[in-house]
Amino acid sequence: MARIFILEDEPIYMKTIKYIVELNPDNEVFCYTSGKDMINNLHRRPDIITLDYYLPDMSGSEILKHIKSFDPDIYVIMLSGQTDVSTAVKLLKNGAYDYITKDNETKDRLINTINNIISNQQVVKENRMLKEELGKRYDFNNSIVGQSDTIKYVFTLLEKAIKTDIIVSIYGESGTGKELAAKAIHYNSNRAKGPFVPVNMAAIPNELLESELFGHEKGSFTGANTRKIGKFEMANNGTIFLDEIGEMDISLQAKILRVLQEKELSRVGGNENVKINCRVIVATNRNLKEEVTKGNFREDLYYRLLGLPVQLPPLRDRKSDIPILAKHFVDEFIHDNKLPNLRLSKEALDKLSNYYFPGNVRELKAVVELACVMTNNLEISAADIHFQNDNEPMEWLQEELTLRDFERKLIRYYLDKYQNNVIAVAKKLDIGKSTIYRMIQNNEI
């Protein structure tokens, strides 16, 4: 349904327009004979206004200005008996949606224009609802779940990130939620209404990456049959997220640096400089400072991208969040799949909490979703929890731990594997069971 104002001082023509508009019974129509009267009723929030250009109290241009200052999203259709092109162009430049002359084709043109507006409004409303839904989905409390001190510190950094357009560099292992953090920044910032354009730098071949990022002109290389807009241009007035930035070939890094500094780019094969206005967020699981030392990453680009650094902790460093995340993923999965309410048993939560999770939050989500499918009860048991990574102890070798720390992790691993059967673990590791009991008693494992 559309709420439509008709402003027309000629009674017979007003009835004609009213008849045309009410051919769609869903339209709600209000008629006015003076500009002042119509302006005083703008609080009723019309969607569309049909406006006669010549009125006794005000000109159509004056009324159009009032309407647009009140609400620029109101669609205004100008109706006039004259066909002066310069007047029509001026009105369209000042915000009128269409200019229709009063003649034999007025009825068809008016119907088509109103139908087009209603269709456009529906798309706009759906986009607005989608943006609002995305904003709710990527609200910090919904997207990044946890209450540990380490994740709370991340929240404080993200809160700072949304207040300005500073470049944000997100560091973290695979599966820690780098893209989720980037989306949370975008959809809570003043650029939320603009596009969020993610680019996985590692997934695009080096020979195609420049074209993907900056676009290309028709005929710039074999197969370039049309002009292509690159990701930076697509992200205009929004955010571009360059994931796995550490994988970018060093030959392209100078061009990225220039784009960041000059805020303009040249498409491949083109001479035109295209101005861009987009926020940049980058992410990597590499230590870029080490990559600079190795000669794999430009030092000037490293400092240009540093901006506000955000380090996402691995799940093993925020183990207190595992039960919270697990319950969140269970609730999310049963909601999305319309399953009966499920809950995790204490034993299942303990098993999850004691696992290493080399795949971090992404792995936890996959394990929990599988458990929701595998369970035959309304309570997920420890037996429903299945880990796919059988080589977990090898992950420890990548950490700088003391021998005692390795010993604790090894015993904990086998206790998980043998369902906390101390005797079985003692036999497997060829140690005394009293050693294990003592470590448990001392809260070492």
308 and 367 fall within a common domain: no
Q: What is the pTM of this model?
A: 0.61
Question: Tokens representing 360?
Answer: 């971090």
Order of strands across the sheet that contains 168-171: 196-200, 239-243, 279-284, 168-171, 308-311
Structural domain ending residue among the three candidates 130, 157, 180? 130
Same-domain check for residues 264 and 366: no
Asked which of 197-201, 323-327, 375-379, 391-395 is least confident by mean pLDDT, the reply is 391-395
Which of 295, 313, 331 marks a domain boundary?
313
Q: Are residues 340 and 308 in the same domain?
A: no
Give the pair of three-digit tokens for residue 228. 């292509």
Query: Within this chain, do residues 333 and 253 fall inside the same structural domain, yes or no?
Result: no
- Can you tell me whether residue 332 is helix, strand or coil? helix
Domain with 433 in it:
316-441
102 and 227 together in one domain: no
Residue 142 has pLDDT above 70, yes or no: no
Pair 298, 348 in one domain: no
Instruction: Give the pLDDT confidence score for residue 101 in this predicted structure.
Output: 86
As a whole number of Å, the CA-based R_g of the chain is 31
Q: How many CB atoms lie within 10 A of CB 412?
A: 19
d(CA 163, CA 169): 15
CATH code of residue 233: 3.40.50.300
Instruction: Mark which of 287, 313, 339 sits at the end of a domain.
Output: 313
Same domain, 161 and 174: yes
Counting the structural domains of the chain, the total is 3
Are 308 and 323 in the same domain?
A: no
Q: Are residues 339 and 303 in the same domain?
A: no
Query: Is 361 in the same domain as 256?
Result: no
Asked whether 336 and 330 are in contact (CB, 8 A), the reply is: no
Give every CB contact of residue 371 below 8 A, 6+ residues apart in sequence.
Answer: 344, 348, 380, 384, 385, 386
**pLDDT tens, 201-233?**
988 888 889 999 999 988 888 777 888 889 999
User: What would the pLDDT profile of 114-129 be if each residue is shown by its tens digit?
Assistant: 888 887 777 767 666 6
User: What are 403-431's pLDDT values in tens digits?
Assistant: 788 888 888 888 877 778 888 888 888 88
Q: Which of 121-125, 139-143, 177-181 has the highest mean pLDDT?
A: 177-181
- 82 Cβ partners below 8 Å, 6+ apart? 53, 101
Residues belonging to the chain? 445
Distances in Å between the alpha carbon of 139 and those of 21, 129, 143, 272, 420? Answer: 42, 15, 6, 39, 39
Mark whether 25 and 155 lie in a shared domain: no
Q: Which residue type sits at 82? A: Q
